[in-house]
Amino acid sequence: MQAIKTKISEGGIVIPSKYRKQLGLEVGDKVIIKPIDGF
């Protein structure tokens, strides 16, 4: 999976549908965001 750019909206962080489907994420799922040096 390639790195992507996204944005923070009033409702939260936007994860494009292509990535949500690949990761099997559903509305209401909890995710962990981990910053990586140089990203």
- pTM beyond 0.85: no
16-32 confidence digits (pLDDT tens): 998 899 999 998 999 99
**What is the C-alpha separation between 38 and 8, in angstroms, rounded?**
19
Tens digits of residue pLDDT in 6-19: 888 898 888 899 88
**Amino acid identity for residue 15 in this structure:** I
d(Cα 29, Cα 5) in Å, to the nearest integer?
A: 20
